[in-house]
Amino acid sequence: MDIADLLSSDGIVLRGGASSKRQALHAVAEAFASATGMDAERAFEALLEREALGSTGLGSGVAVPHARIKGLEQVCAVFVRLDTPVAYESLDDRPVDLLFALFAPTDAGAEHLRALAAVSRALRSPELREQLRQARTVDAIRALFVKDVSKTAA
């Protein structure tokens, strides 16, 4: 699974502004709408439904929210970096500042799971997390995922 193929530059947002988990998820939904042209409110509701099943906060300041979206044709991703971490009910109780969200068609089974596994594996790297926090541009963020994918494929 090639993370870089799922993540367009339009789906990368470097922003502050969120003061809660709900606002952070809203920022993710807005990034999804910007990248796909689909409805942000529908994405937001789908993210909230998934979070109601259990937090997608993995720990170390990282969350991987995900949802299935009716009408979406392929798995896609967005990345939101918050200037100020927010409480997220993560496994380690640390606040989250890096959100890598995945959206999948309602009928995407194994492909969605492979994408989740690839993203979770990549974001376990303390080095990658630090580079994501230090990167200053959308292109730099995207390049880190391209680099990380090529490193794990070798």
Which active-site residues does the annotation give?
Answer: 66
- What string of DSSP letters covers the chain? --HHHHEEEEEEEEE----SHHHHHHHHHHHHHHHH-S-HHHHHHHHHHHHHHS--EEETTEE--EEEETT--S-EEEEEEEEEEE----TT---EEEEEEEEEETT--HHHHHHHHHHHHHHT-HHHHHHHHH--SHHHHHHHHHHHHHHHH-
